[in-house]
Amino acid sequence: MKPNKPSQAPVLEVLRKAGALHSRQRALLFLLRSVVWLVIAIPLLMLADVLFHFSEIPRLGGVIGMALAFLAVLIVAAFTALFARPPLLRIARLLESRNPELGSKLVNILQLDADARLGQAAPMTRALAHRAVEDAGKSLDLAALPPLARESRIPRRAWQALAATVTLGLLSLIGGRHVRQEWLRFLDPFGDHPPFSLTYLEILKPTANDKALYGGFFTVEARASGHQPKDLFLTATPVDGSLPPITLPMFARGDGTFLAQLENVRSPLELTAHTGDDASRSHRRRLELILTPQIGAVSVRVSPPAYTGQPARELPYRFTALQVLEGSQVGFRINSNRPLGNGEIQFESSEKTASVVPLGPAPEGPADTAIADFTAERSGRMTFFLIDADGNRAAESPVSSLTVTIDLPPAIAITVPDQDALIVEDLALPVIVDATDDYGLHSVRLHIGINDKYQPLVPATFEAPGTRRHRLEHTLDLAKLGARPGDRITLFAEAVDTRPDPQITRTGARRMEVITEKDYNERLREKTDVAMIAGKYEDLLNRFEQQIEEQKHISEELAALREMATADPDNSQILDRFSEAFSEQTHLNYRLEQTAREMEEFGRDHPVYDFEKELHAKLKEQADTIRKSVEQNKADCGQAIEQGAPPPATPTPDMINGLTKAAGEQLERLQGEKKKADKEVRQPLQDLAQLHELMKDFSRFQQLAEEQRELAEQSKAYQDKPGLNAEDRLAMRDMGARQRDLARKLEQLDKKLRHDAEAADGKFPEAASSARRLADQMDAAGMPGLARKAAQSMLDSKADDAQAQAQNLHEEMDRLFDDTVQAGQQGVAAGLDRALQLYRKMNPGDSLRQMMLSRNFRPLPGEGSSGAGAAGLMANSAMDANARLLGGESLMDGPIADSISGRGDQGGSGMPGSPTAHIDRPDQANIEQQSARRTGTPDSGTLLLEYENIADAYFRRLTTKP
């Protein structure tokens, strides 16, 4: 039978309770002590981050380490409090040490309890030991034993832990952004929390609302406060990771801000500003993109049809109106900032339904360039829709217009002769045909017919395209063609262009009639006068006088050079000035020889007036004298040059003297010839021109008498009518206007007779006296008054009075013509004979009759036009009243004509360098032919001016019915 197990003594239970309390106290004390160390570790860890700028992983490790340490403390404290129990002997000694009154009672009780549990002892012994334990426990205050196990250090440790925690919290609150930044760096190690730095960096731009254009650029702005860095950099990291980060230097602006420009931004970026050693870094700033495609540079390539021969041209395009030739290949090229997808060009035309032209990138690229090609066949409006690869449409849809033009027919004109004409037999007439076309001529043909029989001519043909202008020149030699007076010559030309469907243009016919030189002169004499004939002589003599002035200048220059050489023989300018003077003399001699040749060949064999033959003979004598003078000067100059060494040696005084003498002698000879020319050519022409004016005054009176006779006869038609109807009164008013105009002409003639008589009084007294007599008798008869009186009656429709007054004026003018005008013409004839035979010893021939044919009535100086005037440039013809005279005569107004017309030196048309009016010299005509048609067809697709669109739209608006 087993012995009964002894029951536990109360003292042992109390010791166990005290051990449990001691373990809990130890756990709490460990926890409080650990909290202090953990709180101290946190700022130490942050300080280490401030010093070493830990990356994300070390900071994450620090956070995890601190969390694990705190967890380990909690686990150890919990295990200690719940499971760890110290031995009862240790507790007994702890209690005895804390309460001296206990002595060793507790240890003894534990010893007795141990003995009671020994298995070798007798049962009696174990029972006695057990009883002793119980009795000892009863002698103790068991309730006071467990409190002795409490730790007295716990309150102090608690205060320490609390103080450390509060201190850390206060430091975090009052430590500013740097402390808060450190907390964030550890609490959120992978967040955007820059490390501590005395340099605070901040990205100002982009802001949250800023976005960069895809493919464009963006300027990043950052600011540094605190310690200013030397250098600052910007790191841009693509958010999608498509490219590695790039780092750019930032440039300081001087106000604490820095700039950096990002180019070709093609993905969202994360931006960070930092110093070169990464000790200072800003918060990251995200830059988003605008993905809407933008329209960049645009160009258009226009390739005209091959038949035009024009190269393709590529031009910048700004969506303005485009104008191209029909059949041209048009290609648009639109650049964008985005990879493009399939867009389109909508083409709208009034003739057909809208069509669509694809607008997208080529398969071979580039992806950000859209192209569209089509053939221009009709005009219309184009709308451009640009779409990127993601389906985003461009914000704008530009609209422009396309104008398709057609190839117009060629333009061709016969520019010489420029109108129908009467042409002198045996004349070699130049014929000039000018043809133009928009894009090219294929052929130009000239047809020449004589009496409706056309001559075979080889056409001008152009195989290669691109000949847009051609001048066909042909000499119409009447002698070789066998043309005779009375023959009719017809000219017309044709031009064909290079269009596949050719177009032909034909000129109108130019008709000419061959006349004799005699007939030509007779017609020309009606339209000209001596003053106009004198112009060509004056032009020649004026050019000769200009050359004399040049000879005078050379002579003076050589004389000055001679004085310079005498004063300073070593002057470096002597050689240059001598060479220049010698060169001028050589050139002048050449021009003098040309003038001599022109004098020798001057004029026609059958001139307008017979007295010109004598003038031609004088000019030939002048030409021979000038030629001999030039030869003499050349010989003298050559002899002078031979007296010294050739250049670059300085000319000797003998050379300068010789050349000066030669120039002076030639000047004297030329001046002598000038005086002779003035006496034998210029002065006779001046006298004859003045006399001719008097002669034309009498002819003018005769012409006015014929006009008055016609008015008197026409007024008879209304004389006997009992009453005038509306048409009759209208006819009377028209005759009244003509009668009033004749009164004005009579007044002008009266003044001109007196003016010309005064001018010719000294040299032609008989003619001047006859002119005054005619003017006096016109005044005595009151002819202008009679004409005005008749005009008023006509305007008042008084037919009887008007006819009587007109007839009266006609009879008075006839009486004066019979008595005075014929006598005046005889006086003019006497003056002409004296001027040509006695004064100038010239053979008059038939000059009087020839001069009397003139109807070129010049007005009185200061008055308006009168008589034929400028109509002398044209001649009447049986074939055409507007036919032109072509015979090679040159007519112009020179100083003589200017003085007669009261212009003095103002006209100057006959002075050297002035334009020459070769009125019947077709080779002098203006033969620059420009196409008169308006074609807007550009050269291989030029841009049409915008205002043309406005004008065209406005025109359509005005011409379209509402």
Q: What is the pLDDT of residues 290-304, one digit of tens each?
A: 989 999 999 999 999
Under the banding of pLDDT at 50, 70 and 90, the label for residue 202 is: very high
d(CA 525, CA 849): 10
d(CA 470, CA 434): 6
pLDDT of residue 947: 38
Tell me how far the alpha carbon of residue 640 is from its chain's centroid.
Answer: 60
Token couple for 510: 């130019």
pLDDT, tens digit, 9 for 90 and up, residues 333-357: 999 989 999 999 999 987 667 889 9
For 593, half-sphere exposure in the C-beta direction (CA atoms, 13 angstrom radius) is 11
For 788, half-sphere exposure in the C-beta direction (CA atoms, 13 angstrom radius) is 8
Q: Say if CB 538 and CB 688 are below 8 A apart.
A: no
* Block residue for tokens 């003085």: 899
d(CA 689, CA 611): 12
- Sorted by sequence, the CB contacts under 8 Å of residue 653 that are 6+ apart come out as 562, 565, 566, 569
- Residue 354 buriedness (CB in 10 A; 0-12 / 13-18 / 19+): exposed
Helical H segments across 761-821, by residue range: 765-781, 783-795, 799-816
Q: Say if CB 781 and CB 812 are below 8 A apart.
A: yes
Helical H segments across 491-611, by residue range: 517-527, 530-567, 573-600
pLDDT of residue 704: 92
Task: Tell whether the model's pLDDT for residue 934 goes beyond 70.
Answer: no
Q: Mean pLDDT over residues 358-367, rounded?
A: 89
d(CA 515, CA 486): 6
Q: Is 931 helix (H, G, I), strand (E, B) or coil?
A: coil
- Residue 365 buriedness (CB in 10 A; 0-12 / 13-18 / 19+): exposed
pLDDT of residue 513: 92
Closest to 584 measured CA to CA, from 556, 626, 617: 556
Q: Say if CB 937 and CB 405 are below 8 A apart.
A: yes
Q: Say if CB 417 and CB 431 are below 8 A apart.
A: yes
What are the backbone angles phi and psi of residue 300, rounded to the nearest 5°? -125, 135
d(CA 774, CA 782): 12
* Block residue for tokens 């020889």: 593
Q: What is the DSSP string of 191-214?
A: SS-PPP-SEEEEEEES-TT-EEET
In this predicted model, which residue has the larger pLDDT, 85 or 957?
A: 85
pLDDT, tens digit, 9 for 90 and up, residues 866-904: 444 333 333 334 444 456 788 778 788 888 888 877 665
Q: Mean pLDDT over residues 521-546, rounded?
A: 88
Task: Tell whether the model's pLDDT for residue 233 goes beyond 80.
Answer: yes
d(CA 397, CA 413): 48
pLDDT of residue 680: 86
pLDDT of residue 203: 93
Query: Percentage of the chain with pLDDT > 70?
Result: 84
- Edge to edge, the sheet with strand 329-336 lists 313-316, 295-303, 329-336, 369-375
Closest to 455 measured CA to CA, from 440, 432, 476: 476
Q: Is 295 helix (H, G, I), strand (E, B) or coil?
A: strand
pLDDT, tens digit, 9 for 90 and up, residues 385-427: 999 999 999 989 999 999 999 999 999 999 988 888 899 888 8
Helix H or strand E segment including 56: helix 56-82
d(CA 185, CA 349): 68
pLDDT of residue 958: 39
d(CA 235, CA 89): 70
pLDDT of residue 592: 92
pLDDT, tens digit, 9 for 90 and up, residues 235-262: 999 988 888 999 999 999 888 899 999 9
Angle between helices 765-781 and 726-760 (to 10 degrees): 150
If you count DSSP H runs as helices and E runs as strands, how many of each does the chain have, helices first? 22, 28
Helix H or strand E segment including 741: helix 726-760
Token couple for 891: 């007519």
pLDDT of residue 902: 67
Q: Say if CB 490 and CB 498 are below 8 A apart.
A: no
Q: Mean pLDDT over residues 733-750, rounded?
A: 92
* Exposure class string for 13-42: b at 16+ Cβ within 10 A, else e: ebbeebbbbbbbbbbbbbbbebbbebbeeb
- Sorted by sequence, the CB contacts under 8 Å of residue 513 that are 6+ apart come out as 421, 422, 423, 486, 487, 488, 489, 877, 878, 879, 883
Under the banding of pLDDT at 50, 70 and 90, the label for residue 120 is: low
Token couple for 388: 């990127």
Task: Tell whether the model's pLDDT for residue 514 goes beyond 90.
Answer: yes
Average of per-residue pLDDT values in the chain: 82
Under the banding of pLDDT at 50, 70 and 90, the label for residue 115 is: low
In this predicted model, which residue has the larger pLDDT, 393 or 196?
A: 393
Task: Tell whether the model's pLDDT for residue 962 goes beyond 60.
Answer: no
Instruction: Please calculate the CA angle 937-328-461 and round it to the nearest 5 degrees.
Output: 70
- Sorted by sequence, the CB contacts under 8 Å of residue 779 that are 6+ apart come out as 750
The one-letter amino acid code at 691 reads L
The one-letter amino acid code at 601 reads E
pLDDT, tens digit, 9 for 90 and up, residues 908-917: 333 333 333 3
Helical H segments across 175-265, by residue range: 176-187
Angle between helices 822-833 and 683-715 (to 10 degrees): 170
* 331: alpha, beta or left? (left if phi > 0; alpha if psi -120 to 50): beta
How much of the chain is helix, strand and coil, in % rounded to 5?
50, 20, 30
* Block residue for tokens 């150890």: 76
Q: Mean pLDDT over residues 76-80, rounded?
A: 89
In this predicted model, which residue has the larger pLDDT, 322 or 23?
A: 322
Closest to 473 measured CA to CA, from 434, 514, 421, 530: 434
Per DSSP bridges, beta strands 285-290 and 884-886 are: unpaired
Q: Mean pLDDT over residues 99-115, rounded?
A: 75
In this predicted model, which residue has the larger pLDDT, 664 or 643?
A: 664
Q: Say if CB 590 and CB 617 are below 8 A apart.
A: no
pLDDT of residue 953: 44
Task: Tell whether the model's pLDDT for residue 9 goes beyond 80.
Answer: no
Q: Name the CA radius of gyration of the chain, rounded.
A: 63
pLDDT of residue 128: 65
Residue spans of beta strands (DSSP E) within 657-768: none
Q: Is 426 helix (H, G, I), strand (E, B) or coil?
A: coil
* Exposure class string for 527-537: b at 16+ Cβ within 10 A, else e: bbbbbbbbbbb
What are the backbone angles phi and psi of residue 603, rounded to the nearest 5°? 80, 170
pLDDT of residue 315: 92
Q: Say if CB 767 and CB 824 are below 8 A apart.
A: yes
Q: Mean pLDDT over residues 145-163, rounded?
A: 85
Q: Say if CB 757 and CB 771 are below 8 A apart.
A: yes
